[in-house]
A and B are shown apart, each in its own frame.
Chain A
Amino acid sequence: MLSRVADSLYWMSRNIERAENNARVLGVQLIQMLEASSEETLARHDWETVLEICGSNTQFNELYPNMSTNHLIEYLAFSENNANSILNCIRYARENARTTRDIIPNDLFEVWNNLYLDTQEMNIREGSLRDVKTFLERVKVASLTSQGIVDSMMTRGVPYRFFNIAKWLERAEKTARILNILNDRSAADLNKADGTNYYYWRSALQLVNGYEEYLKKYPPRMNEKDVLTFMISDYAFPRSIQYCMDHIRESIISLEGGKVSHYSWRIYAALDSLIDEFDEHKIRSLKENGISAFLDDFQNRCNDISQIFSETYYLVDPAGVP
C-alpha cells in the first residue's frame, strides 16, 4: 500500500472515531448540563472540562465572548475554526475516504459521503437541543455503521489492520486524555463539598460510555482506583487502554507476519513497555499525589506510540487542502 494512502486511511479512521467520541462527550454534557444547572459554577467547570477534552479553552475564549450554551455547541459541533469540531471530523473522514476509495468498501465511502452531504444542507434551529441531539445521534450511527462495514466486508489484510490500529490509537488517546483532565479537575476541587470525587469519576466513565459496563464489575461506589483500573488496565473493556494496546499489538504482529524486523522493533518495544508499566498492580499501589504525574506520563507515552507508528510505516502529513 502507498504510504500516502495508508496515511489517509489512518486519518480517516481516526476522524471517524474522533467524530463519534466527540459526539458522545457533547451528548453526555448536554444531559448533565440539565442536572447540574442548580449550581452554576459546577456547570461552568463541566463545560471547561468538555472544551479541554474535545478542543481548547484558549481557542474558545478567543472566538466567543462568553460561555453561552449556543456558543459552546457551535464551537464543539459545527465551528470551522475548531479542527476537532464534529463537522470538521466528518469532513476529514470523508475527504480521506475519497482518497482511499480504491481500497475501502464502497459502502464505507457512501456512509461518510452521505453524512457529509446531509450536513451541508442541515438546518439546526438556534437553541434547539433536539436538533443538536438528532445530529449527534446520526454521527454515532455513522461511526457504528462504519465499524460494521469494515468488520463484515474487509479482507483481513493491510488496509483492515491500518483502519483498526488507527481507531484504537485514537480511542486510547482519548481515554487517557479524559482521565487526565478529570483527575486534574477532581484534585483542584478537593476542598469542596463531599461527593465531588464521585461526580468526576462517574463523568469519566460516562464520557467513554463505560458506566454501564463498570457497574457490572464494580460496586456503584466511585472508588478512583477502581475507575482507573477499569479504564486503564481492564483487558476486556473495549475502551480501556490495555484493550486498545493489546489489539494494536496483535494487529502489528499480523501486519508483520509474526516477525520483528529492523524497522518494526521500536513499535513493539514502545507497546510492550507501556503495557508492562501500567498494569493493575502499579495503579493499585499509586499514592494519592502520584496519580497526576502518572497520568501525564501515561498520556505522553500514548502519543509517542502514534508517532512511532507513523514513522515505522513512512506515513506522511495528511493531504493538504489547497
Chain B
Amino acid sequence: MFKPYQSNHFFDEMLEQDGTTRNHYQGFHSIMNQFTEEELREKHETAQLSFLRQGITFTVYSDNVGTERTMPFDFIPIIMPPETWDMIEKGMKQRVEALNIFLEDIYNDGAIIRDGVIPRELIEQNPNYFKKEIGGVKIPLHNHIFLAGIDLIRDQEGTYRVLEDNLRNPSGMSYVYQNRYVMRQVYPEFFNRHSIHSLEHQLSNMHEAVLDHCPVNCEHPPRAVLLTPGMYNSAYYDHLFLAQQMGIELVEGRDLHVRDDVVYMKTIRGMQRVDIIYRRIDDDFLDPKVFRKDSALGVPGLLEAYRKGNVAILNGIGNGVADDKAMYAFVPEMIRYYLNEEPIIPNVDTYFMRNIEQRKWALENLDQLVVKNVGASGGYDMLIGPHATNEEIARFKKKIEEEPHQYIAQPTIQLSRAPSFQDGRFYPCHVDLRVFVMRGKQTHVLPGGLSRVALKEGSLVVNSSQGGGGKDTWVLKKGDEQYAQQSR
C-alpha cells in the first residue's frame, strides 16, 4: 500500500516535505486508502485495456514499421487548488496574447525588431519565419494562435515555470478527455466527494472559436474542416476526436482541391466549398507549390487561397518562429513590451550558446545543465547533464562548438514529482503539465490540462514517444478545498 516517502530534493504535488499529505489531496488520499492492493491492480489493468479497446493509441515508428501503443495511464491525479488555477489561467492568457501580438507584429511592421527588443537576425534567420510567403496577409481576428499548448513545470520550490510554448500543432487534448473518461469509468469512487471543474463545455467553446475565424471573403455561414495527415500519423486519434466532438469533417490533403483560389472538398455530391481549415499538418507540408515540393499530404494552391482571404488556416502559417527554444527566452520581454505587464508565470533561465560568454561558461558546466536543440521537440537531441555519461557530454560539447546557434542551455530543474502506481507499487515520478489555450473572439483555457508523467523511475522525460504516461488533472472548485479537509 501507499507509504509516504521523504522528498528532500524535489517538490511533491501530494506530500509535504515531512511526508504528510497536502490539504487539497487529503480527500483523495483517504479514499485511496480504502482500496486493497488487489483492487488497485485490477483497476489499473482495466484502465489500460480500455484505452486499447477504444483505439486510443498513438503510432510509434521504428525502422519504418509502425506500432500502435497506448499512453500508460496513472490513476493518481494531479489536483490543483482553485487559486493556483486562477493564477495559471491568467498567466496563460497573458503569455499567449503577447505571443500573438508578436506574430502579428513581425509579419507586418516589425516594431519589436526596430525597437531592438529582439535581435533582428534571431527572427530573420529563423527557418520558420515565412515573411516572404505570408507577410502582410490579413487574417481573421488578427489571430495567429487558435490553439496553444504551453508546457509548465514546477521547480524545487513549487514555483510554476513555462518550459516550452507549442504554437504550431499542439496535440494531446483528446488525452485530457480520455483520461477523465477512464478515470470516471474505472475509479468512480473518487468523484463523489470532490467538486472539480468539468471539461464538458470546452469543446463547444472550441468549435465556436474555430467558426469565429470567418475569412474575409466568406459571406455565408462558414464550413470548417480538420485537416489531418491521415491514420498513420502518430496523433491521428487526437485529430479524430476533435473533429468528431466539434462535428466538423475530418479531411486529408487529397480530399481538398483548390480551383480559382477557392478551396473545395470532394464529396459524394461533388465539390463543396471550405472556408476554415484547422490543420494538423506542419507548414512545410501544407502546400507543395510553396513549401516542400515532395509533400503528398498538402494541398497545391492552398497558400494563394489563404493570401486572397478565401480560406482561414488555423493555427496561422509561420507560427514556428515564435515557439522555438531560442525565441522562448524572449517571451518575458514580449510581455513587457506589448502588454506593459510583468509575466505572471516566469520562464526557466536560458543561456544562448550563440553568445560567446554564455557558451564559454556553459561548456565548463555541462554536467549541471540541460542542453536543447532550438529546433527539436519531443525530447530529442537533448542532453540532461547530471544524468549523462562523459561520452555524451563530450559529444554535445562538439555539437555546440560546431553549431552554437542551434543550442541553448538551461539549469537542470528539479522537476516536481507526484506519486504513481505502476506494476503494483507506488513510487514518485516527475511530472509536467501541458495547458491548452483556445482563442477565438474569446479566450478559453481548458481547466487543468494534460499532466504527463515520466514513469521510468528517476527519468525526467515525459514525452509519450519515450515512455511517458498521463494523469488526470483536477482543478478543484472554490470551496471544495475546505470540504476535502473536513472529509478526513
A-side residues, CB < 8 A to B, are 1-6, 95, 98-99, 101-102, 106, 109-110, 113-114, 117, 158, 313-316, 319, 322
Contacts and interface: CB of A to CB of B under 8 A. Distances in A.
B232 interface: yes
A262 to B, nearest CB: 11
A106 B55 CA distance: 10
A113 B53 contact: yes
Q: Chain B interface residue count: which class?
A: 20 to 34
B252 interface: yes
B360 interface: no
A130 B144 CA distance: 61
Contacts of A99: 230-231
Contacts of A158: 268
Given A3-B268, A314-B268, 16 more contacts: A1-B268, A2-B267, A3-B266, A4-B252, A4-B266, A6-B268, A95-B231, A98-B55, A98-B231, A101-B244, A102-B244, A110-B54, A113-B53, A113-B55, A117-B52, A313-B268
A313 B250 CA distance: 19
B249 interface: yes
Given A98-B231, A322-B232, A4 B244 contact: no
A2 B240 contact: no
A221 B61 CA distance: 59
B251 interface: yes
B351 to A, nearest CB: 41
5 contacts: A2-B265, A95-B231, A102-B249, A110-B54, A314-B266
Per DSSP, chain B at the interface is mixed
Contact of B270 (A4, A117, A314): A314
Contacts of A95: 231
A114 B231 contact: no
A139 B205 CA distance: 42
Interface in B220-247: 230-232, 236, 240, 243-244
Contacts of B231: 95, 98-99, 319
Given A3-B266, A4-B252, A117 B240 contact: no
A207 to B, nearest CB: 33
A114 B266 CA distance: 32
B292 interface: no
Contacts of B265: 2
A102 B243 contact: yes
Leading 4 A-B pairs by shortest Cβ distance: A313-B268, A102-B244, A3-B266, A6-B268
A117 B54 CA distance: 11
A287 B252 CA distance: 53
Contacts of B266: 2-4, 314
B272 to A, nearest CB: 9
Contact of A102 (B53, B230, B250): B250
Contacts of A2: 249, 251, 255, 265-268
B441 interface: no
A113 B251 CA distance: 22
Contacts of B267: 1-3, 314
A4 to B, nearest CB: 5
Nearest to A1: B268
Nearest to A3: B266
A80 B150 CA distance: 44
Contacts of B252: 4
Interface string B50-63: 00111100000000
A311 to B, nearest CB: 11
A319 B296 CA distance: 14
A106 to B, nearest CB: 7
B254 interface: yes
B273 to A, nearest CB: 14
Interface of B: 52-55, 230-232, 236, 240, 243-244, 249-252, 254-255, 265-268, 270
A110 B54 CA distance: 6
The winner among A1, A98, A114 for most chain B CB atoms within 10 A is A98
The winner among B53, B55, B250 for most chain A CB atoms within 10 A is B55
Contact of B240 (A6, A101, A313, A316): A101
B271 to A, nearest CB: 10
Nearest to A101: B240
Contacts of B268: 1-3, 6, 158, 313-315
A113 B231 CA distance: 14
Nearest to B245: A102
Nearest to A95: B231
The winner among A5, A313, A316, A322 for most chain B CB atoms within 10 A is A5
B374 to A, nearest CB: 30
Contact of B55 (A3, A109, A313, A322): A109
A110 B243 CA distance: 18
The winner among A6, A102, A313 for most chain B CB atoms within 10 A is A102
B237 to A, nearest CB: 9
Contacts of A3: 255, 266-268
B178 to A, nearest CB: 12
Contacts of A4: 252, 254-255, 266
Contacts of B249: 2, 102
A114 B53 contact: yes
Nearest to A322: B232
Contacts of A313: 268
A6 B230 CA distance: 15
Contacts of B244: 101-102
A242 to B, nearest CB: 26
Nearest to A120: B68
B57 to A, nearest CB: 10
Nearest to B54: A110
Contacts of A322: 232
A166 to B, nearest CB: 13
B448 to A, nearest CB: 24
Nearest to B232: A322
Nearest to B243: A102
Contacts of B270: 314
B243 to A, nearest CB: 5
A117 B254 contact: no
Contacts of B232: 322
Nearest to B52: A117
Contacts of A315: 268
The winner among A4, A5, A98, A99 for most chain B CB atoms within 10 A is A4
A243 B405 CA distance: 71
Nearest to A4: B255
B55 A110 contact: yes
A117 B49 CA distance: 11
A314 B257 CA distance: 14
A314 B268 CA distance: 6
A6 B255 CA distance: 12
